[in-house]
Structure 1
């Protein structure tokens, strides 16, 4: 978990929860999508700190929840993001398990937002089947499974009153463009994650404008 020494100086605090896509595997800290989002918010005259981050490469929903508990973080935040599920899909875990654990994580995120679902937003799961790493794999199957997991996330967000931001099409459009991917061929470059930040910006701005 990362903490920000300047957090107390900003009007709004921000927590970003997730896996490799949130921690920004294989890219600099400044290229992480949520860090880029905070920068875009500040450019829009929204006084927000860089995010605290609870994320690690490889985490499933259950592992993220366990890590949150182990972190002992009792702070509350003005804005909370969640991006999780690709490792559930990658490991072949069931959709039913994902639904249950994702629902629990949504409630955890809402608690971090001081009980305000209107200050929480979820990013959809990127389609890693479009990455160079996925060459030789059944990309149609990966896409179908990612779609199913994302449909669950979207349904659960709607039920919980949480905003949902669909970045999956952006990750599919990246296919064939090496500049959109990190050096490992699996994770995304700062250039691709900039697009996630840009598409999330109107939602984040709107959420922070509400009480």
Structure 2
């Protein structure tokens, strides 16, 4: 593939990559919790891998996503994991999705806001201080799952509060923000969007999240 063709293809994903990346592959770091590792689905069906596959389908090479995430992690635990991990200092793409366990465990919104701000700043650093490479995802609403349905109203209200905070923080730092909460709220009307455990997203839902990230990238190239 000629270099000019590669550069043109890279422009289609928000100029997230460089000539160096065209040789080594798009480097992608995904930060989060169970929603990032894809609890209850195969690894290659989580949203980071589906997103990377989507990038590959555009004719661009990519490296396997580096994923720093674990089921049950809160913001403070993710921060600790990042600090103790040996990560490169410049990823072509960084996604951040965290907060559901802060809500689930009854942690305060003030604590979440403090930690989330630090995580956004850390994400910017890991993207080589290029804010356009960082994509923040809203927290899904597990109230719209068989597990959460009995407490839907309480769960949804708290998720809305946490998402209002993470959007405000992301906007203040001029980061890309993607609302996937609406997709998650289709979980009861479309059971195929929920994994067999009755709580986590299915591969189908993760695919819809990946599509939203790509759509945001394409919108940015048109600005």
TM-score by length of 1: 0.89
Distance 2:60 2:141 in 1: 31
Distance 1:142 1:154 in 2: 18
- Cα deviations by residue, 1:115-154 (Å, 9 ceiling, x for unpaired): 1111101111000010111143x21111011011011111
Distance 1:185 1:74 in 2: 36
Give the SS at the match of 2:94. Answer: strand
Aligned runs of 1:30-49 on 2, under 5 Å? 30-49=44-63
Does 2:74 correspond to 1:60? yes
- Cα deviations by residue, 1:90-122 (Å, 9 ceiling, x for unpaired): 011111111110000000100110111111011
CA contact (8 A) 2:22 2:60 kept: no
Distance 1:202 1:179 in 2: 22
Does 2:207 correspond to 1:201? no
* 1:9 CA displacement: 5.0
Distance 2:153 2:38 in 1: 25
Q: Over aligned residues, Cα RMSD in angstroms?
A: 1.9
TM-score by length of 2: 0.85
Does 2:179 correspond to 1:172? no
Distance 1:8 1:102 in 2: 32
Long gaps (5+) in structure 2: 1-20
Distance 1:25 1:197 in 2: 16
* 1:28 CA displacement: 0.4
Does 2:186 correspond to 1:183? no
Match of 1:114 among 128, 152, 163: 128
Larger Rg: 2
Task: Count how many residue pairs are aligned between Structure 1 and Structure 2.
Answer: 202
Long gaps (5+) in structure 1: 1-6
Distance 1:201 1:50 in 2: 17
Match of 1:144 among 151, 157, 160: 157
